[in-house]
A and B are shown apart, each in its own frame.
Chain A
């Protein structure tokens, strides 16, 4: 029976792709290692190799087709003595559900095209993981932004594009702004966030560094002290642990230690938080770590509009900023106001869903989970107000407390560990300054207090989801 060749997942974040070009035609004999096609993923154009020997039967998806879901059968391959023309078992019907749900996540260094080959027909290759529950909320929910004036023209942008646009706009505006980090220039960004910047700004301002986080974080900090405006990209914030000395001891403390005469205006940015199936050393939310340090600004946006408006503000401010992105969100699209200069205020939370019965506070990817839970709760007659903190330091106590005064109930949702966390902090604020407004003890929904496991089922158990938020809300509402 012919082997089915399926649309491969060529990166952990890829859910679908473009079949850019076939490099074989029907009837061609192929052997293992031959390049069958070029496929465009969310990050790059990659070559797709044959694993099995045989003769190409039918090409089921024409070249140039966009949005081909991972797992879709794109061709058939007949083995020796088989009829190349015979139809494969499943033709071009919809791919198996679980294959289509290939979830985003992972890091660039696991991106190895040759690791991925044709799949045997059979059970779906990609397992359902815990990160899917974090991102599916994006499609199912929408974000309210009362601050954008009615009638503003909106454009749909991915978070990745919004971040790139923010950097490009600020680089056009201020010649002191430059970007440095691993793979930011020629490779166009390990996650393609800096795509196109090298072409526009050249290698003086878009600088590939060696893999030396401690060193280039220090070089960036020194350049900021010398009057420049560095944007230092960490491939992920997990690697910034090697550089945390400069973020805290050099960047955050300089203005205070110098009595206000030496500044360190710069941005440390990159993906933070759990990614998909990359396990403990590549999955951690450092928001609470940095938010505990006086002298730093810490921003963790949720959607593309905030990513753009807040990154522009971060590049402009005179203070050092830790800008925590989320890899799972890079490929997600949102409406972004089409304004010449969309800059958001640092330190202001926003109410992304107004409600009256309970306040659900979150930030970064947790906002989507909170919004999804709010939708479900609406069906049960519970009207949840969802607040996106946006900035973790300084934290907008006022917006949190005002909402608590209205709803009298508080749940904090955080994709991160519970101990000494942002949720701990928000609950402490409620105790200190909102105690009289509480009709029930404030509670929180966080990741489990364990290193993030690799196994798909365990990862799913470790991470937050909407069901856990719904349960917590019911608890504080005594329902």
Chain B
């Protein structure tokens, strides 16, 4: 019997429209490497302290920690300029620190004090700083995607050259308004980078249990929005992706999607026992891909010595401890604050 002729292999799919170039890992200077390390460590230690204060009952309600995901925000936000705006969901502490909001203002908000960034009225999930171009801090899953699209609209309307960085999670990626926003953003070529922080679990539901298309960077395809998948545990890869995305958006080519493959070490919130995944799974990520540990060999190669890192560590611990002390000692809001800020004007 004659051997069947094997069909000719299909030619590789060629994109029918322009795409951003493939991002390259960022070549960081020694100073930049050290800054990435500092920033990731600041977030890690800040979040560990927040978890501790939660355990002591000083922080209440829902408190979502960013531990494990630090490389994403550090890599991306290090590429922003002062014109650009940032918006995210409720896992927002790290993003705020990177917008250079003082850690004490954030921690005092977590403890619900008058000196908090929202005067103690917002809490962990609702923090904002127009001054630092950080627009929240939004508690409704996916809301920040439409709101961020509106911020991008205002950048374009004002012709201020700014770009909005709108973060959301793999869970929010299934919300309808995300796609309504994608459509308008591409239709109007708005300057926005949609950052899907894919930490693999929407609360307790893994991506492939919730998403028919689990390659989330493809979620913009029906809207002609290019998507790029990025190793979100590698700060240089994150920064490199930011460079590519910003170049695309600043050229007026409209939105772009970055899917950041990352992992959170803690539960969804402080009250989540995280029984939906094994201890081994978490341990394996920590050992193999921890973003801070991964940076250490590069720091070493750059000539940054262990004692220098220790000094950074001590400095960060001091900042975080001072923020925590402040947040415990500074007073709660006056009772009269209950009625302020409901409306701006008097009628």
B122 at the interface (CB under 8 A from A): yes
- Comparing B13-21, B153-161, B204-212, the segment that makes contact with chain A is B153-161
Closest-by-CB residue of A relative to B119 is A259
Point out the residue from A178, A210, A228, A347 that lies within 8 Å of B183, measured CB to CB: A210
A216:B345 contact, CB within 8 angstroms: no
A220 at the interface (CB under 8 A from B): yes
B151:A259 contact, CB within 8 angstroms: no
Could you give, for residues 206-247 of chain A, a 1 whenever the CB lies within 8 Å of some chain B CB and a 0 otherwise?
Answer: 000110101111111111111110000000000000000110
Point out the residue from A220, A250, A257 that lies within 8 Å of B118, measured CB to CB: A257
A:322-339 near B, CB below 8 Å: none
B138 at the interface (CB under 8 A from A): yes
B347:A259 contact, CB within 8 angstroms: no
A214:B176 contact, CB within 8 angstroms: yes
A294 at the interface (CB under 8 A from B): yes
Question: Considering the chains assembled together, what is the distance between the CA atoms of A253 and B143 in angstroms?
Answer: 13
Point out the residue from A209, A227, A246 that lies within 8 Å of B154, measured CB to CB: A227
Min Cβ gap B142→A in Å is 9
A220:B122 contact, CB within 8 angstroms: no
Task: Count residues on chain B whose CB falls below 8 Å from chain A CBs.
Answer: 49
Using A215-B146, A221-B147 as known contacts, say yes or no to A347 and B347 having CB atoms under 8 A apart.
yes
B120 at the interface (CB under 8 A from A): yes
Using A259-B118, A297-B343 as known contacts, say yes or no to A220 and B150 having CB atoms under 8 A apart.
yes
Question: Considering the chains assembled together, what is the distance between the CA atoms of A250 and B118 in angstroms?
Answer: 15
Closest-by-CB residue of A relative to B187 is A210
Using A219-B184, A257-B121 as known contacts, say yes or no to A226 and B155 having CB atoms under 8 A apart.
yes
B116:A221 contact, CB within 8 angstroms: no
Using A222-B153, A226-B135 as known contacts, say yes or no to A212 and B122 having CB atoms under 8 A apart.
no
Range of interface residues on chain A? 35 or more
B135:A225 contact, CB within 8 angstroms: yes
Could you give, for residues 260-271 of chain A, a 1 whenever the CB lies within 8 Å of some chain B CB and a 0 otherwise?
Answer: 111101000000
Using A228-B154, A297-B343, A297-B347 as known contacts, say yes or no to A219 and B149 having CB atoms under 8 A apart.
yes
Point out the residue from B85, B119, B345 that lies within 8 Å of A317, measured CB to CB: B345
**Count: A-B pairs, CB below 8 Å:** 158
B180:A210 contact, CB within 8 angstroms: yes
Could you give, for residues 90-119 of chain B, a 1 whenever the CB lies within 8 Å of some chain A CB and a 0 otherwise?
Answer: 000000000000000000000000001111
Min Cβ gap B130→A in Å is 5
Using A216-B180, A227-B158, A319-B344 as known contacts, say yes or no to A249 and B139 having CB atoms under 8 A apart.
yes
Question: Considering the chains assembled together, what is the distance between the CA atoms of A235 and B139 in angstroms?
Answer: 28
Using A222-B154, A228-B154, A245-B140 as known contacts, say yes or no to A259 and B342 having CB atoms under 8 A apart.
no
Point out the residue from A209, A221, A262, A265 that lies within 8 Å of B130, measured CB to CB: A262
**Contact partners of B148 in chain A: CB under 8 A:** 222
Min Cβ gap B174→A in Å is 14
**Contact partners of B149 in chain A: CB under 8 A:** 215, 218-219, 222
Question: Considering the chains assembled together, what is the distance between the CA atoms of A80 and B247 in angstroms?
Answer: 73
A259:B150 contact, CB within 8 angstroms: no
A17 at the interface (CB under 8 A from B): no
- The listed residue with most B CB atoms (<10 A of its CB), out of A224, A225, A259, A346, is A259
A295:B342 contact, CB within 8 angstroms: yes
Using A218-B181, A295-B342 as known contacts, say yes or no to A223 and B146 having CB atoms under 8 A apart.
no
A258 at the interface (CB under 8 A from B): yes
Point out the residue from A209, A225, A255 that lies within 8 Å of B151, measured CB to CB: A225
Could you give, for residues 69-94 of chain B, a 1 whenever the CB lies within 8 Å of some chain A CB and a 0 otherwise?
Answer: 00000000000000001010000000
**Contact partners of B345 in chain A: CB under 8 A:** 317-319
Closest-by-CB residue of B relative to A396 is B347
A64 at the interface (CB under 8 A from B): no
Closest-by-CB residue of B relative to A346 is B347
B184:A216 contact, CB within 8 angstroms: yes
- The listed residue with most B CB atoms (<10 A of its CB), out of A220, A250, A297, is A250
**Contact partners of A209 in chain B: CB under 8 A:** 184
**Contact partners of B116 in chain A: CB under 8 A:** 259
Question: Considering the chains assembled together, what is the distance between the CA atoms of A374 and B183 in angstroms?
Answer: 52
A218:B177 contact, CB within 8 angstroms: yes
Min Cβ gap B118→A in Å is 4
A256 at the interface (CB under 8 A from B): yes
B136 at the interface (CB under 8 A from A): yes
Could you give, for residues 182-226 of chain A, a 1 whenever the CB lies within 8 Å of some chain B CB and a 0 otherwise?
Answer: 000000000000000000000010000110101111111111111
A261:B154 contact, CB within 8 angstroms: no
B135:A262 contact, CB within 8 angstroms: yes
Question: Considering the chains assembled together, what is the distance between the CA atoms of A395 and B184 in angstroms?
Answer: 37
B340 at the interface (CB under 8 A from A): yes
Question: Considering the chains assembled together, what is the distance between the CA atoms of A347 and B145 in angstroms?
Answer: 33
B128:A261 contact, CB within 8 angstroms: yes
Closest-by-CB residue of A relative to B346 is A347
B119:A260 contact, CB within 8 angstroms: yes
B284 at the interface (CB under 8 A from A): no
Question: Considering the chains assembled together, what is the distance between the CA atoms of A241 and B69 in angstroms?
Answer: 35
Question: Considering the chains assembled together, what is the distance between the CA atoms of A309 and B200 in angstroms?
Answer: 52
B:319-347 near A, CB below 8 Å: 340-345, 347
B-side residues, CB < 8 A to A, are 85, 87, 116-122, 126-131, 135-140, 143, 145-155, 157-158, 176-177, 180-181, 183-184, 187, 340-345, 347
Q: List the 5 shortest-distance A-B pairs measured between CB atoms, nearest first.
A: A222-B150, A218-B146, A215-B180, A226-B154, A259-B119
Q: Supply 21 A–B pairs (Cβ within 8 Å), ascending by A.
A: A212-B177, A218-B145, A219-B149, A219-B184, A221-B146, A222-B152, A223-B150, A223-B154, A224-B150, A225-B130, A226-B153, A227-B154, A228-B154, A249-B139, A250-B140, A250-B147, A256-B121, A258-B121, A262-B130, A317-B344, A394-B347
Having A223-B157, A257-B128, A258-B136, one finds 20 other A-B pairs with CB under 8 Å, namely A210-B180, A210-B183, A212-B183, A215-B183, A218-B181, A219-B146, A219-B150, A219-B184, A221-B150, A222-B149, A222-B152, A222-B153, A226-B151, A226-B153, A227-B158, A246-B147, A255-B342, A259-B120, A261-B131, A262-B136
